[in-house]
């Protein structure tokens, strides 16, 4: 669905639900990470791009400190709460946590916030590792700004607020990557992020290259506990070296460090991935596709062997894509791991053949074909015209 269609959908539903017209409609995109996996919470480097799938919100301020939310993709489902009593989770309806969490963070930061009527819809596939949740929290924040609230909060501040909403309210210990690229992404570019300073740099994707995503249709349970376990291993490694984060350790320090073998492999993934991400950003900027492809392949091996977050179905998907590209394009698992998507950066001319090979040769353990998305690197969150 195009942004214009999503806009028409939320604006129409707004009038039906609340009467009159919304003051504004805004969008915030999902994302795919080209390289730099599990490096964000280690204060390292990532290279994601925002994609042309987004959450769209229609908004109007109210003068009574009440918030009414209509989520069109959740049934539809409605949620109402007041800003002047403590905002608490509704565990039976998880989607409400992203809206409530974001507004509670705004209040916790003593930011100005009126009552709101909100209508939400989107086309970021949920549960696929394309950050539908980050796009929702960032879209809610952007909607607040579109009615004059959250004054003085820049896009990076908005991303941090969205991350805190996930960390504190939803209970997901994610890093800053998803929210920051949703808020700061630039059309036609990947976004290099230093996750310590939160400095960003747009890296143009050469016009003859495309981004393709294939979803393995594998979703493992316990994803959060695996994620938190990997995070804990990285923190333990940083403590071992007496530093704030693995960012401060170099790959050369690992040998003879006395780390236990498992923690050493976890740390090695992060340290080598940071180096690969720096080199990949340069390779992409220079249009050196073969270099980029090599770095993406090494990243996948590191996730499979050292960080152990891939599953056989995802490995198979990468092998199918690599089989077609033969080095003239890169492919790796993307996102938190244990299923989800692979991302490929490839010449436009190779798209059909890759998609065809995936449709023909890939089946998930449940016999499902992959879902393939051809993506355009897109701009970050903004009001819609
Ligand atoms: C998830 C998290 C991100 C990041 C990735 C792994 O997407 O939300 O913060 O840690 O996993 O790179």
pLDDT in tens, 220-262: 665 678 999 999 999 999 999 999 999 999 988 998 999 999 9
pLDDT, position 271: 98
List where CATH 3.30.70.890 sits in the chain: 206-375
Q: Global pTM?
A: 0.97
In whole numbers, what is the pLDDT of the chain averaged over residues? 97
Domain 206-375 in this protein, CATH class: alpha beta
pLDDT in tens, 281-311: 999 999 999 999 999 999 999 999 999 999 9
pLDDT band at 150 (very low <50, low <70, confident <90, very high): very high
- Measuring from each residue's beta carbon to the nearest atom of ligand 1, which residues come in under 6 Å? 33, 37-38, 40-41, 174-175, 177-178, 335-336
* Four-way CATH pick for 3-201+379-383: 3.30.9.10, 2.40.240.10, 3.30.230.10, 3.40.50.1110: 3.30.230.10
Place of tokens 């333990």: 236
By the 10 Å C-beta count (0-12 exposed, 13-18 middle, 19+ buried), 320 is classed as buried
Probe residue for ligand 1, chosen from 231, 336, 342 as the CB with the greatest number of ligand atoms within 8 Å? 336
- Ligand 1: which atom is nearest the Cα of residue 33? 12
pLDDT, position 223: 64
pLDDT in tens, 113-123: 999 999 999 99
Average pLDDT over residues 15-19: 98
**Angle formed by the axes of helices 96-108 and 132-146, to 10°?**
50
Q: What percent of the chain has pLDDT over 70?
A: 99
- Ligand 1: which atom is nearest the Cα of residue 177? 9
CA–CA distance, 104 with 109 (Å, rounded to integer) = 9
List where CATH 3.30.230.10 sits in the chain: 3-201+379-383
């Amino acid at each position: 669905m195009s942004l214009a269609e999503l806009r028409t959908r939320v604006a129409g539903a707004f009038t039906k639900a609340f009467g009159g017209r919304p003051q504004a409609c805004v969008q915030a995109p999902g994302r795919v990470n080209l390289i730099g996996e599990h490096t964000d919470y280690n204060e390292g480097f990532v290279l994601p791009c925002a994609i042309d799938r987004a959450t769209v919100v229609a908004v109007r301020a109210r003068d009574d400190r009440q918030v009414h939310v209509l989520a069109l993709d959740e049934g539809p489902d409605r949620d109402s709460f007041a800003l002047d009593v403590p905002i608490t989770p509704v565990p039976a309806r998880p989607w409400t946590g992203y809206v409530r969490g974001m507004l509670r963070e705004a209040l916790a930061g003593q930011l100005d916030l009126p009552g709101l009527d909100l209508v939400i819809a989107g086309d970021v596939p949920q549960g696929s590792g394309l950050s539908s949740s980050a796009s929702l929290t960032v879209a809610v924040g952007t909607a607040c700004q579109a009615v004059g609230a959250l004054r003085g909060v820049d896009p990076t501040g908005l991303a941090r607020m969205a991350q805190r909403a996930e960390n504190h309210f939803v209970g997901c210990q994610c890093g800053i990557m998803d929210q920051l690229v949703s808020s700061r992404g630039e059309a036609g570019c990947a976004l290099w992020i230093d996750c310590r300073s939160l400095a960003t740099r747009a890296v143009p994707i050469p016009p003859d290259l495309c981004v393709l995503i294939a979803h393995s249709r594998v979703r493992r349970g316990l994803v959060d506990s695996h994620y938190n376990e990997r995070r804990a291993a990285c923190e333990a490694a940083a403590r071992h070296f007496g530093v704030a984060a693995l960012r401060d350790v170099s790959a050369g320090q690992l040998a003879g460090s006395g780390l236990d073998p498992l923690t050493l492999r976890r740390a090695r993934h992060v340290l080598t991935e940071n180096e690969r991400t720096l080199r990949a950003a340069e390779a992409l900027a220079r249009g050196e596709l073969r270099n980029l492809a090599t770095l993406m392949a090494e990243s996948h091996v590191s996730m499979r062997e050292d960080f152990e977050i891939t599953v056989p179905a995802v490995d198979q998907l990468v092998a199918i894509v690599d089989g077609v590209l033969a080095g003239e394009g890169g492919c790796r698992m993307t996102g938190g791991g244990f299923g989800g998507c692979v991302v490929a950066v490839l010449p436009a001319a190779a798209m059909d053949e890759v998609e065809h090979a995936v449709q023909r040769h890939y089946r998930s353990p449940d016999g499902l074909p992959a879902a393939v998305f051809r993506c355009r690197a897109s701009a970050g969150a903004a009001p819609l015209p």
